[in-house]
Amino acid sequence: MSADRSTEVQADLRVGDEVEVEVGPIAHGGFCIARHEGRVVFVRHALPGERVRVRVTEAREGQRFVRADCVEVLEASEHRVTAPCPYAAPGLCGGCDFQHVGLPHQRELKATVVREQFSRLARLDVDVAVEPVPGDHDGLGWRTRVEFAVDEVGRAGLRQHRSHDVVPVDTCLIADERILATGVLRGHWDGEDAVDVVAPSQGEAVVVRVPSGEAEAPTVVEHVEGSSFVADFEVGARGFWQVHPGAAATFVDTVLGMLAPRDGETALDLYSGVGLFAAALGRAVGPDGKVVAVESDPGAVAAAAGNLAKYPSVLAIRARVDDAFGVPRASKSGPNGRRAQRSRKLRRHPLLPLSADVVVLDPPRTGAGKDIVAQLVRLSPRAIAYVACDPAALARDTAYLKESGYELREVRAFDAFPMTHHVECVALFER
């Protein structure tokens, strides 16, 4: 981009305009970057190095970039393949960003994005390759939890990219075949906002209407078989669980391998869900150790109580992590939210330990943030394993950890969401 942005001449592009562009590098979010007469164009359905015709899909007043879909490939990348799914195309389903890319190259693109986020946000060069999740062969049929949207005439479908519009579909190739076997896509769902279908590790898929007529969504049992840890977990059908069938075991193995928790140690599992990592840590530190799990979702904490009952050293706290540490919430709720927060007493949860040997951190997409990282550092753990679904949030928190004296020792990345731009990272930090 030119140094003097104020004098830069930019093409006046409007929604529906079609132009030819050379496609530049991949960016975080499933699109590539191109330029047209000075204007930055975020292009979906294209690949770096291609020459394509794009149609503008979003052009906002005052925004220095436009969004566009590739509608014709003039010079194709060697990595381009025919998308297996008929709905992975401009104007159709917004779920899969990479169906037009060969699977090995999808992983190279994701590794590029992870490296770029660390370089830009944490000023670190990381050497990372994106590994397939064990058991994944073709990147299809892996999704064990799908929320189908319902259109105005009651058909189930998937949403368009950056839109609330529902595209009715008769298949979803990344979905577990048990999900399609429920007939959800042939059903009529008048009066529902959405239909959730969950295919647990064993047994039939479960269909949940949203909003559900039932007071509570049903629960399912997920079996996890890692290399040194085997357990079953009860999970709410609408609660959080890794969607790739191999992901939970892979992440537990990776976290345990990185932290090497020892008998008698104190561990913290933050954003603990139904207790996946807390259980593995509980087993590793044994009855003389201590594990405290912190999770805000009441359904997840209730399920965790049962899942963790057989590990005497594990305690699950129902709280937001920021509340548990007694730090202000990162409020998105505007001035009223801030007022409500000022009137709240910020007090550290009495059951949170004052020090910990190891910490697992698995926050939502927003990451942990500076205040939580500062609290973690005060616990003085010898090692922190950070499980991240957003490499940008991980890189931001890496910068805070680095400032506080924690080094990034290792980062692994997993293709837990093939055909999409999403990637899961597990990072190890040590003092």
Ligand X SMILES: C[S@@+](CC[C@H](N)C(=O)[O-])C[C@H]1O[C@@H](n2cnc3c(N)ncnc32)[C@H](O)[C@@H]1O
By rule CB under 6 A, what string of x and - marks binding of each residue 165-204 to ligand X?
----------------------------------------
Residue range at the interface with ligand X (CB under 6 A); choices 85-93, 108-116, 289-297, 405-413: 289-297
Q: Which is nearer to ligand X, 157 or 239 (CB)?
A: 239
Phi (first) and psi of residue 33, to 5 degrees: -105, 130
Burial environment of residue 294 by CB neighbours within 10 A (0 to 12, 13 to 18, 19 or more): buried
Contact between 388 and 427 under an 8 Å Cβ cutoff? The reply is yes
320 binds ligand X (CB under 6 A): yes
* Interface pick for ligand X out of 10, 112, 296, 404 (rule CB under 6 A): 296
Q: Is 93 a catalytic residue?
A: no
Rank residues 21 and 372 by Cβ distance to ligand X and give the closer one: 372
Give the nearest distance from C-beta 385 to ligand X in angstroms: 11
Q: 214-243: which residues touch ligand X (CB under 6 A)?
A: 240-241
Chain position whose Cβ is nearest to ligand X: 273
CB nearer to ligand X: give 157 or 226.
Answer: 226
Which listed residue (297, 357, 390, 424) binds ligand X by CB under 6 A?
A: 297
Is 222 or 265 the residue whose CB approaches ligand X more closely? 222
**Applying CB under 6 A, which part among 112-120, 199-207, 288-296, 307-315 lies near ligand X?**
288-296
Q: Within positions 373 to 392, which residues make up the interface with ligand X, using CB under 6 A? A: 389
Using CB under 6 A, which residues numbered 96 to 155 contact ligand X? none
And the tokens for 91?
């104007």
Closer CB to ligand X, residue 17 or residue 371? 371
- The minimum distance between CB 272 and ligand X, in angstroms, equals 5
Tokens of 192: 């529902």
| Separation in Å, CA 149 to CA 145, 163, 191 | 13, 12, 12
From the candidates 85, 172, 389, 425, which is the catalytic residue? Answer: 389
Contacting residue, 56, 279, 314, 321, with ligand X by CB under 6 A: 321
The residue (of 97 and 323) whose beta carbon lies closer to ligand X is: 323
Tell me which stretch binds ligand X (CB under 6 A): 90-98, 162-170, 221-229, 265-273: 265-273
Residue 325 binds ligand X (CB under 6 A) = no
Q: Are 305 and 396 in contact (CB under 8 A)?
A: no
Of residues 336-365, those binding ligand X (CB under 6 A): 362, 364
Query: Is residue 116 a known part of a binding site?
Result: no
Residue 295 labelled as part of a binding site: yes
Contacts with ligand X by CB under 6 A: the residue count is 18
Binding mask 268-287 for ligand X (x = CB under 6 A): ---xxx--xx----------
Applying CB under 6 A, the span of 133-141, 267-275, 284-292, 338-346 interacting with ligand X comes to: 267-275
Nearer to ligand X, 103 or 321 (CB): 321
The 3-class secondary structure across the chain, one letter per residue, is CCCCHHHCCCCCCCCCCEEEEEEEEECCCCCEEEEECCEEEEEECCCCCCEEEEEEEEECCCCCEEEEEEEEEEECCCCECCCCCCCCCCCCECCCCCCCECHHHHHHHHHHHHHHHHHHHHCCCCCCCEEECCCCCCCCCCECEEEEEECCCCCEEEEECCCCCEEECCCCCCECHHHHHCCHHHCCCCCCCEEEEECCCCCCCEEEEECCCCCCCCEEEEEEECCCCEEEEEEECCCCCCCCCCHHHHHHHHHHHHHCCCCCCEEEEECCCCCHHHHHHHHHHCCCCEEEEEECCHHHHHHHHHHCCCCCCEEEEECCHHHHHCCCCCCCCHHHHHHHHHCCCCCCCCCCCCCCCEEEECCCCCCCCHHHHHHHHHCCCCEEEEEECCHHHHHHHHHHHHHCCCEEEEEEEEECCCCCCCCEEEEEEEC
In this structure, the dihedral spanned by the alpha carbons of residues 238, 242, 248 and 251, taken in order and rounded to 10 degrees, is -140
The residue among 26 and 276 lying less far from ligand X, judged by its C-beta, is 276
Q: How many residues in the chain?
A: 431
For the CB of residue 110, give the shortest distance to ligand X in the complex, in Å: 18
Q: Do the annotations mark residue 242 as ligand-binding?
A: yes
Minimum Å gap between C-beta 408 and ligand X is 20
Alpha carbon distance 73, 50 (integer Å)? 7
| Subset of 5-64 contacting ligand X (CB under 6 A) | none
Binding site for ligand X (CB under 6 A): 240-241, 271-273, 276-277, 294-297, 300, 320-322, 362, 364, 389
- Binding-site members are 242, 271, 295, 362
- Binding-site members for S-adenosyl-L-methionine are 242, 271, 295, 362
Q: Enumerate the active-site residues.
A: 389
